[in-house]
Each structure stands twice: as C-alpha cells, then as structure tokens.
Amino acid sequence: MVNFDENLFMFEKLKLQVTDILKTPHQETNQKLQAICNLLKDNVPYYDWVGFYFRNGNKEELILGPYAGAPTDHTTIPFGKGICGQVAVSNQNFVVPDVKAQDNYIACSITVKSEIVVPLFVNGENIGQIDIDSNTINPFSEEDERFLEYINHEISNIY
C-alpha cells in the first residue's frame, strides 16, 4: 500500500522539477515532455510506463508522443477505442484500478494491471493526454489525479 503523506511529499518535489524542465531554454517541446516522462517513471515507484498521446490534427485519432517505458504497438489510437480513446471523447480523467475489469481496453503489455489517463487542455480544447500504466493493482488515488492535472496545466502554458 502506498503511503499517502509520503506520496504528497514526493509529488510536491516532482512538481518543482517539472516546472524546472518546462523552463529549460533552447529545448524543443518534445524534449521537455520526454524529460517529464523519464522523471515520473524513474521517481514514482508504481508508474511503470509514462507517455503522452496527442490528437492527430483534425483527425479523430491519437498519436503517441514522447514516452518512457517499454515500446508499444499502439502508436495510433482511434477516438473511442481503449481508455485513451475514451478520454479523447469524454474530456474526463479515467482511473482504472484493474484493467481486467474493462471491456474497452487496449492491452500494451501483459504486466500492466492498472492505468490512469488525464486529458491535456490548451485554451479549453482537449489536445491530448498523459497516460500512465502500472504493474501494481489499484495504486492511484485522487492525489495522482491532482498531480497529473497540475503537470498538464503547466505543459499547456508552453503551447
């Protein structure tokens, strides 16, 4: 079981580091997003795959952006398909404590037990999302949601 207070402390520290990454001069947006993926995967013990998906222009599909973790075959996801595709349509966070309980789910790896997807809004428009897979069952709390919302909000400022 994850310790709530320890997690809060960890998230506060990571938030400062994310802000620093986003302020790095002379760096492409994708390099910054890659650094954020690496930071989260390396520091949150139950984040085993961290990536960004973005809407592909005006098409109703998501394209994989920077990620940290095992490569995935699912580099394009149609709107409505899987957890990611559902978030592209709902504009809502989607917390999946147990992926086995989901019918509309795209498996990327057999080790994954849970997932959280939080949309990224720029000027009120859902342009993509951060997607986290975990090999732990039911690890995500509201603190993860607030943390990932914060990160996406900070990222929205560089778009």
Residues that bind ligand SME (CB under 6 A): 49, 51, 72, 74, 77, 82-85, 105-106, 108, 115, 131, 133
Give the residue with the Cβ less far from ligand SME, 108 or 118. 108
In whole angstroms, how close is the CB of 136 to ligand SME at the nearest point? Answer: 15
- Could you give the maximum distance between any two Cα atoms of the chain, in Å? 44
Give the residue with the Cβ less far from ligand SME, 35 or 88. 88
Give the residue with the Cβ less far from ligand SME, 49 or 147. 49
In terms of C-beta distances under 8 Å and separation of at least 24 residues, what long-range contacts does 102-109 make, across chains too? 104/80, 106/74, 106/77, 106/81, 106/82, 108/49, 108/70, 108/72, 108/73, 108/74, 108/133, 109/49, 109/70, 109/72, 109/133
Give the residue with the Cβ less far from ligand SME, 131 or 144. 131
In whole angstroms, how close is the CB of 23 to ligand SME at the nearest point? Answer: 28
Angle at 127 between CA 156 and CA 56, to 5 degrees: 135
In whole angstroms, how close is the CB of 67 to ligand SME at the nearest point? Answer: 7
Length of the chain: 159
In whole angstroms, how close is the CB of 70 to ligand SME at the nearest point? Answer: 9
Q: Give the Cα separation of 125 and 102 in Å (integer).
A: 27
Q: Which residue is nearest to ligand SME (CB)?
A: 82
